[in-house]
Amino acid sequence: MHITFGRYSVAGVALALLVACTTDDDDPGVEGADGATAASGSGGSGSGTTGSGGTSSGSTSSGSTTSSGGGGTSGPTKCQAPVTLASSTPLIADFDGYDGATSLGEWSFPLGGDSSVGVLAGTFVYGDDHVEGTQDVPEVSEMVDGNDSTYALSISDSEATEYGGGLGIWMSECVDASTFDGVSLWVRGNAPTGFAKITLLMEETTPIPEEGDAEAPVGTCEGTADDCIHPFHEFEVSDEWAEVQVPWDKFTGGNANGPAVEADGSNIWQVQFDIGLEWLDEDGDGVYEATPGPYELVIDDLSFY
């Protein structure tokens, strides 16, 4: 079963329903907000599709956070009163609650499918080949057959040229998952480098928004998206379904423009996955360029464990 969702160009979205793919023109070979370069095969650095809190962690961000950061005043954040997840509610998303008809841009669900948790969630996707000002979006976001389940979330491109793409889960509230050991998911796809990356967006590693950007999910990092680095971890991807479990101590630590920030399950407001193109120095002059090619990333049964 394959369902392709509508996609729209979005220059900036406040806390609204999820729409679709937007990208930036930043050089993905430059270190992004997640602290890894696309040249390392750790994923792209795009502006991301936005939704109710959805944004990518690349060099620039659109939607509910700002890429410049540091120009505003730190106020109350959603992580001042995080929702503590009980051991009985580890699931983030299995996508089987999707009705098979609703546009992805209009679909949201209780975190883990459990309304008693009190957290709304949704999906976002992005890629590098979006043509600004048009609806020409080569990236395809689909619900496809899951891992022994009805649905899984997919992002793919038959010929990416800039850096790659990604997808993720936004959450309406900051969550405290520190009672768990880490993050688990099932994954398959076609990764040009053989790897994809999971990134945890945390309060401490999210820039303070610009003045007047009151609807942004307020972070506390006094710096830009280049200074505020989210914890991340790279994992292998093949064309066969495989389970990936990442304990907190396997995440490369983040940075709050100086202070180190370790992943421990606390203060998480978004989980993101990136898949990047291979970058090669073909001329041996130290200049790396992306190798255009196809990619696909499919995730299912995303949970804490």
Span 149-181, pLDDT tens digits: 999 999 999 999 999 999 999 999 999 999 999
Helical H segments across 84-234, by residue range: none
The domains of the chain are located at 3-280+291-304
Q: State the pLDDT at residue 216.
A: 67
Contacts of 177 (CB under 8 A, 6+ apart): 85, 90, 265, 266, 268, 304
Q: What is the CA radius of gyration of the chain?
A: 17
Residue 237 Cα to chain centre, angstroms = 17
Q: What is the DSSP string of 26-88?
A: --TTS--TTS--GGGTS--------SSS----SSS--SSS-SS-SSS-----GGGS-EEPPTT
For 197-209, the pLDDT digits (tens) are 999 999 999 999 8
pTM of the model: 0.79
- Confidence band, pLDDT 50/70/90 cuts, at residue 134: low
| Of 22 and 284, the one with more pLDDT | 284
Residue 212 Cα to chain centre, angstroms = 25
**3-280+291-304 is a CATH 3.30.365.10 domain:** no
Looking at every residue in the chain, the average pLDDT score rounds to: 79
**Model confidence at 56: pLDDT above 90:** no
For 234-253, the pLDDT digits (tens) are 999 999 999 999 999 999 99
143 - beta bridge partners?
Answer: 3, 153
